[in-house]
Each structure stands twice: as C-alpha cells, then as structure tokens.
Amino acid sequence: MALLDRLPTKDRLLRMGLINESQCMFCDDPLETRDHLFLHCPIADYLWNSIFSLSGLHFITRSWESFLAWACYTWKGKSLLSVILKIALNALIYILWEERNKKLFQGRSRNAQELFRIIKDIVGSQLRGRNLNSIDIVNANLCKHWDIG
Ligand SMILES: [Zn+2]
C-alpha cells in the first residue's frame, strides 16, 4: 500500500505547483487527497458500504492509516471473509483510480452501482471454482451474497 502514497493525487500535484485546481472528480470536495478518494468521498463510501454489507459487516469511516492498520490486523487470516475483503480492497483502489483518470482525461463516467458491479465481478472471478468450505454457514452466506457459487 506504499504505492498509494505516491499516487499523483491532486493535493500532491498542487503542492508541487503542477496544477492550480484540486477539486475531487467525483464530488464537490475542494481537495482530492488519498484519504478522500479511497475512503471519504461519497462514491468510495458507497463502495465500502456495499462491500461491507455484502460481507455481513458494518462499515465505519476512519482515517486511511487507521483503516489499513485495522484491516491488516483483522484480515490477516486465511478465512474466506479475509480473502474476499483483501481482493475487494485491491479492486476498489484499482477501479476508483481508473475511473478518476477516465473522468479526468476522457470525460467518461460510470455510476457507483456500475463500479460496485465490477468489484463484485473481480471478487467472483478470482474465487469461483476454488474449493471453498461452504459447509461453514459464514462461508455459505458469503458465497451466496458475493455470487461465488
Ligand atoms: Zn470526492
């Protein structure tokens, strides 16, 4: 996740003097930062809430450092839940950065539901066909909700 600290978010480009406007591409927030883009922006918040509720969890907003520290501690096991959340985290970062660049450079945009559909497809495609312990009730629910089958 150190890579995220080097992404050319607008707050960094602004500090370097490379741009003079720094508004978020997705909402009216005046400063696009890593924390805003991947966690606090309404579109990121929607995606995280969807990922968490599909996993039977409740999403709580916090700082990126605190979120990652919590995720590293909580998702370190090999449970299906940990695996799903780790894939979803990577997919969310990839999709939001891609979408942000599409909007910035091509003026194209997809809505939050479409982006969530892509994240769900990525999770499904990485786990479908694996030998999952779906006798476990938690796993069975996860497979059903995430459409892993
Ligand atoms: Zn925003």
Question: What is the spatial distance between Cα 114 and Cα 81, in angstroms, rounded to a whole number?
Answer: 23
Distance 4 CA to ligand 1 centre (A): 17
Distance 145 CA to ligand 1 centre (A): 28
The per-residue pLDDT for 42 is 96
Q: Alpha helices of the chain — where are they, by DSSP H? A: 10-15, 34-35, 42-54, 64-74, 80-106, 112-127, 137-146
Distance 148 CA to ligand 1 centre (A): 31
Distance 56 CA to ligand 1 centre (A): 26
Distance 27 CA to ligand 1 centre (A): 4
The domain segmentation of the chain, as residue ranges, is 34-146
The per-residue pLDDT for 133 is 74
The per-residue pLDDT for 33 is 94
Distance 50 CA to ligand 1 centre (A): 17
The per-residue pLDDT for 4 is 80
Distance 33 CA to ligand 1 centre (A): 9
Q: Which residues surround ligand 1, an ion (CB under 5 A)?
A: 24, 26-27, 29, 41
Query: Residues 7, 10, 14, 19: is their CA dihedral positive or negative?
Result: positive
| pLDDT per 10-residue tile (average), the chain, 149 residues | 81 88 92 94 97 94 90 88 95 96 91 97 91 83 90
State the pTM of this model. 0.90
The per-residue pLDDT for 1 is 65
Distance 97 CA to ligand 1 centre (A): 12
